A and B are shown apart, each in its own frame.
Chain A
Amino acid sequence: MTSRNAAVYTLLTVGAAITLLPFGLGLLTSFTSAQQFNTGSPLSVPHPPTPANYLGLADAGFGRAIAVTALMTAVILVSQLTFSVTAAYAFARLDFPGRDRLFWVYLATLMVPATVTVVPLYLMMAQAGLRNTFWALVLPFMFGSPYAIFLLREYFRSIPADLIRAARMDGASTVDVLVHVVLPAGRSILVTLALITVVSQWNSFMWPLVITSGSSWRVLTVATAGLQSQFDAQWTLVMAATTVAMVPLIVVFSLLGRHIVRSIVVSGIK
Chain B
Amino acid sequence: MQHRRFRDTVIGYALLAPSLFGVMLFLLLPMLVVGWLSLQHWDLLGPIRFAGLDNWRSVLTDADFGRSLLATAGFVALVVPLQTALGLVAAALLARGLPGTGFFRTLYVLPWICSPLAIAVLWRWILAPTDGAVSTVLGHRIEWLTDPSLALPVVSAVTVWTNVGYVTLFFLAGLLGIPADVQNAARLDGAGDWQRFRHITLPMLRPTLFFVLVTGIVSAAQVFDTVYALTGGGPQGRTDLIAHRIYTEAFGTAAVGRAATMTLILFALLLGVTIIQHLYFRKRVSYDLT
Chain A residues in the interface with B (C-beta under 8 A): 5, 8-9, 11-12, 15-16, 18-20, 22-23, 25-26, 29, 37-38, 41-43, 83-84, 86-87, 89-91, 94-97, 99, 102, 105-106, 109, 111-124, 126, 139-144, 146, 149, 174, 199, 202-203, 205-206, 209-210, 220-221, 224-225, 228, 233, 235, 238-239, 241-242, 245-246, 249-250, 253, 257-258, 260-261, 264-265, 268-270
Contacts and interface: CB of A to CB of B under 8 A. Distances in A.
12 contacts: A5-B98, A43-B133, A117-B26, A117-B27, A143-B21, A143-B25, A205-B224, A206-B224, A221-B117, A224-B118, A264-B169, A269-B211
A60 B151 CA distance: 30
Contacts, number: 272
Nearest to B10: A96
Contacts of A123: 33, 37, 42, 256
Contact of A96 (B8, B108, B161, B259): B8
A14 B33 CA distance: 49
Nearest to A103: B16
A193 B267 CA distance: 26
A109 B222 contact: no
Interface in B110-155: 110-119, 121-126, 128, 131-133, 136-137
User: Chain B interface residue count: which class?
Assistant: 35 or more
Contact of A122 (B96, B166, B250): B250
Nearest to B11: A174
B15 A19 contact: no
A42 B136 contact: yes
Nearest to B207: A269
Q: Which 4 A-B pairs have the closest CB atoms?
A: A143-B22, A144-B19, A120-B33, A120-B30
Given A12-B93, A90-B16, A119-B37, A22 B123 contact: yes
A225 B229 contact: yes
A140 B259 contact: no
Nearest to B215: A268
B105 A261 contact: yes
Main secondary structure of the interface of A (DSSP, over half): helix
B115 A202 contact: yes
B169 A224 contact: no
Given A116-B263, A119-B260, A144-B18, A225 B111 contact: no
B247 interface: yes
Contacts of B107: 16, 19-20
Interface in B212-254: 215, 218, 222, 224-225, 228-229, 243, 246-247, 250-251
Contacts of B15: 86-87, 89-90, 94, 174
Contacts of A242: 118-119, 121-122
A163 to B, nearest CB: 18
Interface of B: 5, 8-9, 11-13, 15-16, 18-23, 25-31, 33-34, 37, 42, 44, 90, 93-94, 96, 98, 100, 102, 104-119, 121-126, 128, 131-133, 136-137, 161, 165-166, 169-170, 173, 211, 215, 218, 222, 224-225, 228-229, 243, 246-247, 250-251, 256, 259-260, 263, 266-267, 270-271, 274
A133 to B, nearest CB: 16
A117 B115 contact: no
Contacts of B22: 83, 140, 142-144
A24 to B, nearest CB: 10
Among A87, A114, A250, residue most surrounded by chain B Cβ atoms (within 10 Å): A87
A123 to B, nearest CB: 6
A12 B104 contact: yes
A250 B109 contact: no
A260 B271 contact: no
Contact of A250 (B9, B98, B113): B113
Contacts of B128: 235
B131 A235 contact: yes
Among A116, A250, A257, A270, residue most surrounded by chain B Cβ atoms (within 10 Å): A116
A106 B23 CA distance: 7
A65 B251 CA distance: 22
A5 B97 CA distance: 10
B106 A87 contact: no
A110 B270 CA distance: 12
Contacts of B98: 5, 8-9
Given A112-B31, A115-B243, A268-B166, 15 more contacts: A11-B93, A43-B136, A116-B30, A117-B27, A119-B37, A120-B37, A123-B33, A203-B118, A205-B117, A210-B251, A228-B121, A239-B122, A241-B118, A242-B119, A246-B115
A245 B117 CA distance: 9
